[in-house]
Structure formats: structure tokens, C-alpha cells
Structure 1
Amino acid sequence: MSDNDISAPNPIRTCVLGVGLGGLVFHIPFILAQPHLFSLHAVLERSGEGKAHARYGAHMSGAKIYTSMEQVVADPEIELVVVTTPNGTHYALARSALEAGKHVLVDKPVTATAQEARELGELAKSRNLVLAAYQNKRYEADWLALKKLLALPRSSPHSLGDIYEFESRADRYRAVLKGTWKDHAAAGTGLTYDLGSHLIDQALQLFGRPDKITAFIQNIRGIGDPEVDDCFTIYFHYSPLTPDRPCPITVILRSHILSVGSPQLRYVVRGTKGTYTKYGADGQEEYLRSMSDTGQIVRDEAYGMEKSELAGTLQNLDSNGSIVTSRWQADQKGTYADLYSNVWDAIRNGKELVVKWTEATAVVEMIELAYLSQREGRTVDVP
């Protein structure tokens, strides 16, 4: 987005569906923090309690509270609808908004099935509407640093060479249930849909569609609904290609709910010339939660910068075959707000979305195949 775009405000009148964690922490703050791009016109809150106003009232002057989707689609002033409700409701709500001629941004996972995602994509295309996916972890400092590392030429002393194994994790320790809708069996629930959406999206960005998938998905704690998984290990198998991919690649995606440790392991990448190891999660979510608790919006200049102590570790082979250890520090700020800026540019200027709907659809497709692998106890082919 250019400076000229910003200097000529044309804010998009936006309605946020849902005032749970997603709405209050990951969406409303970015809308309010960019008044030159977005105007929070309304919030859908079925209880009508005014949770968003209670928290962000100082910044929400004039924002309406709707208690039904019928009110949302009937409001001609709403241009963009943000869907941040339980996963199983995404399809119906997004479809209703698109049929009413409104642009839509859907939280991940975009739908419970790949077929639902394809149908929404076709509907948006037929109506010439923007349909975007909130894959916000594309905008994290450690992810941007990892992409920069893997893009290094082989001649660089920091190059990992040909990658043959990539491990990405989102572990945490939680021995009890959260007491939210995520604890109950329903379409699109479970840790594989939740955190798996992020890990799978990043893997697809780096390596494309795998040839095969092997998955182990379970409820490791044995509490709550046994159909709601809280632990997964998913293998993406890639056959070697020539010359871009001379090695077969194994991608390991893991999330464990009973993992003790701080900071948790995030990435391990192994190549023919080195290994990269990274601990610790991006700090944006922690910061956003703390700001949300006090009703503040994102204004900190340091927001999105990775802490120096969380820099990854590189171990490379030099020309003599000796191991050289160094740190790989993220030098680029990550900020979820950039995803919103891109959505504004797509709606107002017709710019291409960074997170394409076909990519978000592919994430759901991989999740479905992972569950198929688990159910049948076998490695499945990826179409």
C-alpha cells in the first residue's frame, strides 16, 4: 500500500461477527487501530451484552450492536464482514454475507470442509467480491526470518543446503479444558483444525502440496469429548525433484497439549549443509491479549519485533567440514495488521491478496486427509 493510498482515507465500513477471543483480540484491535483504512460499523453479538463496547468503548463511537445475521446482511452500509465465530458456523455466515454483496474475511480454518471452501470461493468470484482468509501467522517475525534463511543462495555460509527434513511445532501445556466451544465435538473442532491450520499453511507455502500424508491424531489427555483431538503429529512426504528438490523431504507438523517447557521448541530444519533450531513463539498474541485486557489498541512501535533472546541457532559446516554455530535473528517486524492492510488494498484497489482463498482451501483439504489417515491407519495419497 502506498503513502498516497493512506493519505486519501476511504475506510471500509466493517462488521465483526463474534466477540470471543478472535473478535476481541485478533480483529477488533486492528480495525480500531487503522481508522484511515477501516471503520468499525457494527458487531454481531447474539447475547447483546455489549462485550466489545465494554472493552473498547473509548474507541468504538457509533458502532452498532446486532444480535442476528439478518440485521447484518440488511444493513446496506456494511462493506466487509469479518467471520470470527465457531469454526462450524463459518460457511453459513460467510455465504450469507457474500450473497448480500459484502466482502468477507474469514478466520482460520476458513471452513470445516474443503468442499464448503470451494463453494464460497466460487460464489465470491461470481459476485466479484473479495473473500480473504485470516492466516495471520504468515505475518510473524520468526516466520519471515525462516523464509529469508531458506531463500539464501547455496554459496552463503549460512545456507542449510538441500532441505531434507522440516519440523514445525506448536506445543503447550494445558492439563484442563478451556471451557469454550472448542471443547465440544462439532464440525471443525479439535487441535488439528485449530493450530494445525497454521502449521499446514506454512508447510504448503514452503514446499507446496505433499505427495502423501501420514497422521497420528488423538485425545491424549483423555478428558472432555473423546472426539475432540488435543494432540497431533502429521507427516508430509515429498518425493525428490530435479534440480530444485534433489532430496526427498519429510515435513513433521506437531502440536502436543501436555508439553512441559519454556520456551517451547518451534522449528528444526535439517539440510545437507546445516541445521536451524528455533525456540519460542512469536510475541504478538501475548501482547494482544495484554492490551485487550485493558481495552487498549495496538500502538506500540516495538510491537511485532522478536526478542533477541529468541533468535534461532544455526549450525553450518564450513569448507573444512567443521561446525560453525551462529544466531539467526529476525530483522523484520511481523505484524498481523499487515494482513488487514492487504485486505483493504484488495477491496479498494483490486490488489492481489497475500493469503489466497485457494491456499486456505488447500489447508482444509490437508486436514481432511490427515483425519482420513488417522481413521484408516495408513499413509494416504494427496490428489
Structure 2
Amino acid sequence: MLNIAYIGFGKSTNRYHLPYLKLRLDQFKVGRIVTPTLGKRPADQFEWETTGTIFSTDVQDIINDSTIDLVVVVTPSSSHYTMTKRLLEAGKNVLVDKPMAANFDEAKILVDLARKQGLFIMPYQSRRFDSDFLTVKQVIGNGYLGRLVDLEVHMDHYRPNDGIFEGPAIDGSLYGHGVHLVDQVVSLFGAPKSAMYDLRATRILEATLDDQIEVNMFYKNALKATIQTTELATIQYPKWQLRGTHGTFIKYDVDEQENDLKAGIMPGTVGFGVDAPQNYGKLVYFNQSGDRIEKMVPSVLGDYGRIYDSVFDTLVNGAPKLVSDEQMLTVMKLLSTGVSTDSNKLVSFSGN
């Protein structure tokens, strides 16, 4: 049993974290929750208090509690680095919401500090357990596509009136949405040889903060992985497109977990996160006999809670971390480089 604490009790904690913890109370106990305002979510707070969770407004309460095995940081992005550093310096293991820091240098400080202290640190890259991503991994692993040549993944919305005029890069789309997609690509292929960036402000033309991005990552064997996000998509683009020497895979629809969570349908409910057959991805490939095969690929069931299973396995059983230090630093290097370089410029990454 791991005794964990949360810093933050807003939407993200109550939508993307705690509903999955409720199915894992044989492994985790929520010992403390620190929130700036007590009673802001009275029903949710009362529910956890009945299980023994202690609520307070001071992070020092967590630091002073020697029974806490893990702290989960679910605060605004700009505070992630400072809060995580403070916790590591106090000897706490930390699972921090993405992005883990504002740049590569900050991330490197956190990773080095955790290594020096013998502590656990990892970003909450829950979208490694998106249904669509797990299905893509399965298709690649089964070899249907042959040698992969192109992978393209989108995270698109239509939010024309939500543009931000200015702010730190960590509040832009590359860090906000792109961090998920970059991590998915890095988890599949590692660090790219080079990358090209197109970051733009499209809703407020004078804005200094990007809201539309495209990153092309180039790997050996002529493989290119492209991530794209926009806030001006009124017609759905495929979430995934993969092309290889033997076939193509296309999937339009996103993981259903988020849609269900927004609708108040919780993990553990029958049908939660299950993809409808009409939303399965389409695979077209040529088999060893030269026959053209077309079929719909049933979606692998996603489960964001599996990131907690992985943390438990690491802290209790000594298993390797789900997101390795190398992977988290590669992601931060790609993000940092993107916001610090001229758009449409090819950037080489030495040693890859």
C-alpha cells in the first residue's frame, strides 16, 4: 500500500486522477490533499474525508508527513518546476503533471536532483494509455505496415475564441497539447535525428503565444513522424495516419475515456472508454502472398489508471519507470528547442 498526497484539487485531479484511484484503493491510500481553497468542491472533499484523507492549504503539511510515499503535483503548469524541486529537496517521490518543467534545463535539474537523492520522478504522461495510441502500437508491432515511412498524429479542436495574447511558452500549444504527442512518438522511436517546427498564433494574429503547431521529426530508415494541433478544425482530420512499405492505417476518432469523463461516466462503469465499431481504425495492407487485405481493427481498451499501476510497480517492485529519464529529457529538449528556434528551421540533434 502506497500512501500518496495530491497538491491540487481542481478539475484535472478530480477528472483524470482520482476516478482511477478509486479502482486501486487496494494499492493506494490518499493520505493528504492540499488545495488553495477548502470547500470549493464540498461533495468531493467530503467523500475523500470519509476515507481518512486529510485536507489542508499548506504544502508544508505534506513535506512534514513522513508517511507519504508519493506526491502527485496537479497545479498550473508554470508552478510544476518550483513545486517539484521543493518536494525532491524535501525527500519526496514525485509524479508531476505534464509538462514537468518550462524548459530542458529545468527538467535536467529535476532529474539530476532525483538521481542524487535516490528518489522517483516522472511526468504524468497518461496518454500513453489512450486507446487509439495503444491500437497504433499494436498495428506497428504486428508488422502489417512493413517498414514504417510516415506517422502523423493530430490533436485538433474548434475553439476560435479562446486565444491567449501573450504568456510564457509553457502555456502555448506545443507545451500544452504537443507534449502528449511528442511523448507518444518518443516512446515509440526514441530521439529523432532532426526536427522541423512550425509554431503559429492563428486566432489572435498579434499574439506571442502559439496555438497551432506542426513538428516533423526525422529518424533513420526514411521515417518521418509528424505531430499537429490546431484550435480551428471544424471538420475532423484523422487522429492517426500511418504509412509503410506494405500498408496504411488510418483512425479518425480519439480515445473515448475523455468524452466519458466529461459526461460524468466514471472508470469502472460498464462500457467506459469502449470504442464503437464504426470508430475503429481502417487497415489496408498486402500480405506475403501479394493479396490486398482491408479490415477494421478493433480498438485496444485504454486506461489512464495504468500509469498508477506502473508507478506502484516501480516504487514497490523496483520495475523500470514507464517514462525513463532519457525519454522525459528528450521530450523536454524537443519542446525547448521548438520555442527557442525560428519557425520552419531544421534542427539537428547530435548523437541520434
TM-score (norm 2): 0.91
In 2: Cα distance, 1:60 partner to 1:256 partner: 40
In 1: Cα distance, 2:242 partner to 2:99 partner: 25
Give how far 1:309 is off: 1.6
Query: More deviation in 210-219 or 305-314?
Result: 305-314
Give how far 1:19 is off: 2.3
In 1: Cα distance, 2:9 partner to 2:96 partner: 14
- SS of alignment partner, residue 284 of structure 1: helix
In 1: Cα distance, 2:337 partner to 2:3 partner: 38
Give how far 1:333 is off: 2.2
In 2: Cα distance, 1:50 partner to 1:376 partner: 42
Q: Residue 333 of structure 2 aligns with which residue?
A: 365
Alignment of 1:85-100 (within 5 A): 85-100=75-90
Q: Residue 118 of structure 2 aligns with which residue?
A: 128
2:166 and 2:207 in contact (8 A); partners too? no
Q: Residue 258 of structure 1 aligns with which residue?
A: 232
1:29 alignment partner, one of 16, 19, 23: 19
Q: Residue 219 of structure 1 aligns with which residue?
A: 201
Give how far 1:290 is off: 2.6
Deviations 1:296-336 (A, max 9, x none): x5322433432222111112235686643211112x32211
- SS of alignment partner, residue 235 of structure 2: coil
Alignment of 1:258-337 (within 5 A): 258-262=232-236, 264-291=237-264, 298-317=267-286, 323-330=292-299, 332-337=300-305
Give how far 1:59 is off: 4.1
- SS of alignment partner, residue 316 of structure 2: helix
1:41 and 1:78 in contact (8 A); partners too? yes
Q: Which amino acid in structure 2 is aligned with residue 150 of structure 1?
A: I
1:303 and 1:335 in contact (8 A); partners too? no
Mapped pair 1:234 → 2:215: yes
Deviations 1:230-265 (A, max 9, x none): 11011112232xxxxxxx112111001100135x42
1:17 alignment partner, one of 1, 7, 25: 7
Mapped pair 1:200 → 2:168: no
Give how far 1:124 is off: 1.4
In 2: Cα distance, 1:299 partner to 1:325 partner: 33
In 1: Cα distance, 2:24 partner to 2:166 partner: 35
Give how far 1:376 is off: 5.5
Q: 1:284 to 1:183 in 2, by over 3 A?
A: farther
RMSD: 2.2
Identity of counterpart residues, as a percentage?
26
Deviations 1:7-62 (A, max 9, x none): xxx2x2221111233212111222233211111222221133442x4335334423
In 2: Cα distance, 1:361 partner to 1:183 partner: 29
Q: 1:76 to 1:117 in 2, by over 3 A?
A: same
- SS of alignment partner, residue 234 of structure 1: strand
Q: Which amino acid in structure 2 is aligned with residue 22 of structure 1?
A: S
Q: Residue 160 of structure 1 aligns with which residue?
A: 145
1:160 and 1:273 in contact (8 A); partners too? yes
1:291 and 1:298 in contact (8 A); partners too? no
Mapped pair 1:106 → 2:96: yes
For structure 2, list consecutive stretches of 5 or more residues without a partner in the other structure: none
Give how far 1:377 is off: 4.3
- SS of alignment partner, residue 221 of structure 1: coil
In 2: Cα distance, 1:130 partner to 1:213 partner: 30
Query: More deviation in 123-132 or 62-71?
Result: 62-71
2:77 and 2:170 in contact (8 A); partners too? yes
Q: Residue 348 of structure 2 aligns with which residue?
A: 381
Q: Residue 311 of structure 2 aligns with which residue?
A: 343
Instruction: Point out 4+ residue stretches in structure 1 off by more than 3 angstroms.
Output: 317-324
Give how far 1:81 is off: 0.8
How many residue pairs match? The answer is: 349
In 2: Cα distance, 1:253 partner to 1:376 partner: 15
- SS of alignment partner, residue 78 of structure 1: coil
